């Protein structure tokens, strides 16, 4: 599917979700994210950030309408949507499970039944994109946590998605690999939706931000406007980014 001329990558209308015990996680979410935009979703623990990403990927199902590019997220269009949306989990060990990094990155294209030559090409390109060229024969068990995070991103890039959702991509990273993730986000031309507590990373990588709390959108705006609002952030158990703290 060619998405270049489609204005919105994500449209959520009246989206709600409750856990199996009935506890609400998201309530009446309405958002639009433009094609090519990098958007952050922030909020305290339990705000509903990760749940929102799982809904966008079709892993969880709530009420309301979610549209990914030109497809409504529903059973009959799910096969199309999973080729458009890539989800990078917070813990890379939830994503890497094969004997070699090559196999992890090739897993998605292999399940698309692509030719072997195309799979090889995609693995090479994805690893190069995240700076892990030459890691094909290595085991994720022998990589640092930061390297595993990059390998998890590569395992999604090999599917050539148009939209990538990342759950707290810089959490628990050393400064070197945090910088590598930031650099990748800055250079990527994909539509990106990023949840994070790392507000300084968001300042460097995203154009706009949604603030969630208790399953509702509390604020939305340009990163500069929302993340400089000390009272707003503190009212939602957050602090100003370090670069803007006096």
Is residue 157 within 8 A of residue 135, CB to CB? The reply is no
pLDDT in tens, 8-31: 999 999 999 999 999 999 999 999
In tens, the pLDDT along 79-121 reads 788 889 999 999 999 999 999 999 999 999 999 899 999 999 9
**Tell me, what's the pLDDT at 5?**
66
Tell which residue, 170, 205, 161, has the closest CA to residue 186: 205
Q: Per-domain residue ranges for the chain?
A: 1-47+65-84+162-246, 93-160
Task: Give the confidence band of 78 by pLDDT, cuts at 50, 70, 90.
Answer: confident
The β-bridge relationship of strands 63-68 and 8-18 is antiparallel
- The answer to whether 34 touches 8, Cβ cutoff 8 Å, is yes
In the structure, what pLDDT confidence band is assigned to residue 214 with cuts at 50, 70 and 90? Answer: very high
Condensed to tens digits (0 to 9), the pLDDT of residues 144-189 reads 999 999 999 999 999 999 999 999 999 999 999 999 999 999 999 9
Distance CA 246, CA 244 (A): 6
For domain 1-47+65-84+162-246, the CATH superfamily is P-loop containing nucleotide triphosphate hydrolases (3.40.50.300)
Give the Cα separation of 35 and 111 in Å (integer). 26
> Among the listed ranges 4-8, 51-55, 169-173, which one has the minimum average pLDDT value?
4-8
Alpha helix positions (H), 68-115: 78-82, 101-111
145-178 burial, b if ≥16 CB within 10 A, otherwise e? ebbbbbbbbbbbbbbbbbbbbbbbbbbebeeebb
């Amino acid at each position: 599917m060619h998405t270049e001329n489609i204005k919105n990558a994500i449209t959520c209308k009246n989206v709600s979700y409750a856990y199996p015990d009935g506890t609400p996680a998201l309530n009446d979410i309405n958002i639009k994210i433009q094609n090519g935009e990098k958007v952050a979703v922030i909020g305290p623990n339990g705000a509903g950030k990760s749940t929102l990403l799982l809904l966008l990927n079709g892993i969880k199902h709530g009420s309301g309408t979610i549209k990914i590019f030109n497809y409504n997220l529903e059973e009959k269009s799910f096969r199309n949507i999973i080729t458009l949306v890539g989800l990078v989990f917070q813990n890379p060990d939830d994503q890497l499970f094969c004997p070699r990094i090559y196999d992890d990155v090739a897993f998605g294209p292999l399940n698309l039944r692509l030719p072997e030559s195309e799979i090889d090409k995609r693995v090479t390109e994805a690893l190069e994109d995240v700076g892990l060229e030459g890691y094909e024969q290595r085991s994720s068990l022998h990589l640092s946590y930061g390297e595993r995070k990059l390998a998890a991103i590569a395992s999604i890039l090999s599917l050539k998605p148009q939209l990538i959702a990342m759950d707290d991509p810089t959490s628990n990273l050393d400064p070197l690999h945090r910088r590598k993730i930031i650099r990748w986000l800055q250079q990527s031309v994909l539509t990106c939706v990023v949840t994070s507590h790392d507000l300084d990373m968001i300042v460097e990588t995203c154009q706009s931000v949604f603030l969630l709390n208790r399953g509702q959108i509390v604020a939305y705006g340009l990163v500069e406007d929302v993340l400089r609002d000390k009272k707003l952030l503190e009212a939602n158990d957050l602090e100003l980014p370090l670069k803007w703290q006096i």
